[in-house]
Amino acid sequence: MAQKPVSLCHWGAFEAELVGGRFVAATPWPGSGAPPEMIGALPELVYSDTRILRPHIRRGWLDRGHRADGAGRGAEEMVPVEWETALDLVAAEIARVREAHGHTALFAGSYGWSSAGRFHHARSQIRRFYGALGGFTDQTGNYSWGAAEVILEEVLGSSDAVRGGATAWESIIGATDTFVAFGGLNPKNWKVTSGGAGHHHMADHVRAAARKGTRFVVISPFADDIPEGIEADWIAPRPGTDTAIMLALAREMVRRGRVDHAFLNAYTAGADSFLSSLDGSGDGVEKTLDWAAGIADVPVADLKRLADRIETGRVMLTAAWALQRARHGEMTYWALIALAAVLGQIGLPGGGFGFGYGSLNAVGHGATKGLVPSLPRLGNESGTVIPVARFADMLESPGREIPFRGGQVTLPEVRLIHWAGGNPFHHAQDLFRLQRLWAQPETIIVHEQVWNATARRADIVLPATTAFERNDIGGTSRDRHVFYMPRLIAPRGEARADYEIFSALAERLGAAPAFTEGLDEAGWLKKLWATSIKKAHSLGIDAPDFEALQAQNVWHVPTPERPEVLLGAYRHDPTAARLPTPSGRIELTSKRIEGYALDDMPPHPAWMAADHGEGGEAEGTFALLSRQPRHFLHSQLAQTSLAREPEILLHTKDAAALALADGAQVRVSSDRGACLARLRCTSGCRRGVAAMETGPWFRGADGVDPGGNPNALTADFPTSSLSQATAAQTCQVRISPAGPDSGTGGSA
């Protein structure tokens, strides 16, 4: 008889059909709205021919250890070995590097999307393990909203407005007259939630708001950033110019006498200096609608209509995460806050600003926060931390000092990379540069489920279980459910959970008591859930005990009595809810940033054209925007039948000017490398702009990636010297017919 337990993944909750110990099918949990195509591919992922079933060691490293030439990574044979052999070698190598070169020579790499489960969260596991050893080189920030995190901490005192806080849709529906979405509201992004979700609500909420009379304005180069079923005004600016539009709208509100000076005086700091920058008193350029229309290359009439819309009524302004992944991306978020402050509706139901409504499913889903547990970290006393997007710089220039968050960071000399969870040969920029630098460390150890580009370029590969081969607790603070995730099937081959691997290594290195605390998987799950129960009780919520959570599989978390309004408490009482900024207010001009004296970071929101040779529109080039994939997440599921031949989206007239037909195979190139893709023509795209989906497994060699990963093209420079975040959305490419020998390029 088939069993149908409920579990969770980043695409949502699902029912698993199990027959004879085999995972045969997966369907969305009834009523969840989870995407059936991704959910349905989960068994295919588990049983993929790409699964790693035994530990493997690169031939050169097996023969010569850390003295082996790193240039052989990705080219040499991977030799299967026994677990005990692999663990002994890994432990000995960690000990050697630590004793000979210190803790900072150990780099613990990870990324946070490996599992919706909170205990078997690879990044938490590897950081705890190396913390138990006394220290390591860690990463801070992320590729999703790294620039936003830093600038919001300066302007609002915390990054909660992008990390988890957002005005709930219950506060928007019926209250918001105009919803302005810079960067769009693309429905494909609503299929995913970090940590999973029991309810995919976004499309329903958008339609409900439209029915209640909310007018939507979508500002994006792509028409498909407008959700189906609603009417919206579409403005298609040149990429990277949203900040100019926001500043011009703020200046227009000044001209029309629409500025809420009472709000600015009570809730912001530096408003006068910011407003003065708009009238041109500083640089001699008034930030008019005509000025912005010229920069963004849009009809000024479109901006005037937008100004008319936001001049009256309740206005919600939002920006997608993608907008801050560009040169000077911090300015986009700061300018959005400044425009919202000028309108004076921050902290009111249906008004103000928010981030990520077009980037993730659960944003604005009213939920009680803090009830999903997480694995506690240990210290990093003997280690160091680098900005996450400066990983390749670290390999290239050890000892170099870089500015970061107003201070300086010295890039360490790393001898050993230990990666668990994530695929740097997917999410990093300038992958051919990374491939060259990847040869430099003495040893690279990777925990992986599948033979992706990173696993194939390792020295030692340890096979990791999927989320369906272990027990866990999953969920996100943005959702109204917590899931007990039962083990569905036995681990395939010899795969082991990261916790098992790190426990065995900790035992060999004398760190087991600190790392495991004497607990196995079940013991940790009970301990973690006890912290959630304690938190629930502090909120007056009766949470199930661990055995009850196991039995019922899903706990429906009570919803807050009042829908969240971002900065609502601050609006109500700015003294009691003082912000953790130097002024205690929203900083429209920051004296602290001014004190950093950074050439690329003025003390207030400002329009700054992209530099590094990527900001212009050289003849024959297109601005390339990389987008989240429609059918999978990052590079996950890329080994299933959902994978499609990589496409590049281009306006029909641009394709005709290049004498390229719809469906043609093309070569897309930049100053860094090239990749192949299939051309898809559309009229729903701004001319001069191209788009490619991220996700294909990198298969690059000799400067060409036939796999079609756009990060083979993107430059690896920072948004600014304040945040050092990724600027992948600032990229110019050329498009030409693919040659007869274009299909070559090496293995994944």
**In terms of Cα–Cα distance, which of 39, 24, 10, 27 is closest to 642?**
39
Residue 137 C-alpha from the chain's centroid: 21
Please say if 47 is a catalytic residue: no
Average pLDDT over residues 587-604: 98
Q: In the CATH hierarchy, which top-level class contains the domain 56-141+379-475+487-518?
A: alpha beta
Average pLDDT over residues 1-28: 92
Residue 326: pLDDT over 80: yes
CATH code for residues 622-737: 2.40.40.20
Contacts of 207 (CB under 8 A, 6+ apart): 227, 229, 230
Q: What percent of the chain has pLDDT over 70?
A: 98
Question: Catalytic one among 11, 29, 61, 111?
Answer: 111
The pLDDT of residue 612 is: 63
**pLDDT tens digits, 476-531:** 888 899 999 999 999 999 999 999 999 999 999 999 999 999 999 999 999 999 99
**pLDDT tens digits, 440-455:** 999 999 999 999 999 9
**In terms of Cα–Cα distance, which of 708, 725, 524, 736 is closest to 621?**
736
| Beta-ladder partners of 701 | 704
Please say if 113 is a catalytic residue: yes
Helix (H, G, I), strand (E, B), or coil: what is residue 72? helix
Average pLDDT over residues 296-323: 98
Residue 194: pLDDT over 80: yes
Average pLDDT over residues 610-624: 78
Average pLDDT over residues 128-156: 97
Residue 616: pLDDT over 70: no
546/522 Cα distance (integer angstroms): 10
The pLDDT of residue 652 is: 98
Least confident among 30-34, 295-299, 340-344: 30-34
Residue type, 207: R
The pLDDT of residue 613 is: 61
* Measured CA angle at 124 (ends 159, 387), to 5 deg: 50
**pLDDT tens digits, 99-108:** 999 999 999 9
Average pLDDT over residues 720-740: 95
Is residue 289 very low, low, confident or very high in pLDDT (cuts 50, 70, 90)?
Answer: very high
Average pLDDT over residues 732-740: 92
The pLDDT of residue 615 is: 58
Least confident among 327-341, 580-594, 598-612, 655-669: 598-612
Residue 748: pLDDT over 60: no
SS (H, E, C) 650-665: EEHHHHHHCCCCCCCE
Is residue 745 very low, low, confident or very high in pLDDT (cuts 50, 70, 90)?
Answer: very low
Helix (H, G, I), strand (E, B), or coil: what is residue 11? coil
Within 423-580, strands assigned E span 443-448, 460-463, 472-475, 481-485, 554-556
Helix (H, G, I), strand (E, B), or coil: what is residue 556? strand
Higher pLDDT, 50 or 616: 50
Higher pLDDT, 107 or 196: 107
The pLDDT of residue 629 is: 87
The pLDDT of residue 638 is: 85
**pLDDT tens digits, 384-441:** 999 999 999 999 999 999 999 999 999 999 999 999 998 999 989 999 999 999 999 9
The pLDDT of residue 744 is: 42
Average pLDDT over residues 71-90: 98
DSSP of 390-443, one letter per residue?
A: GHHHHHH-TT-EEEETTEEEEPP---EEEEESS-HHHHSS-HHHHHHHTTSSSE
The pLDDT of residue 1 is: 52
How many angstroms separate the Cα of 417 from the Cα of each of 44, 64, 458, 509, 725?
A: 30, 18, 9, 17, 21
Task: Name the CATH superfamily, with its identifier, for domain 146-365.
Answer: Dimethylsulfoxide Reductase, domain 2 (3.40.228.10)
Average pLDDT over residues 571-593: 98
Average pLDDT over residues 565-585: 98
Domain chopping of the chain, boundaries = 6-46, 56-141+379-475+487-518, 146-365, 622-737
- Identify how many contiguous H helices and E strands the chain contains and give both numbers: 26, 30
Question: Catalytic one among 11, 29, 61, 113?
Answer: 113
| Average per-residue pLDDT for the chain | 95
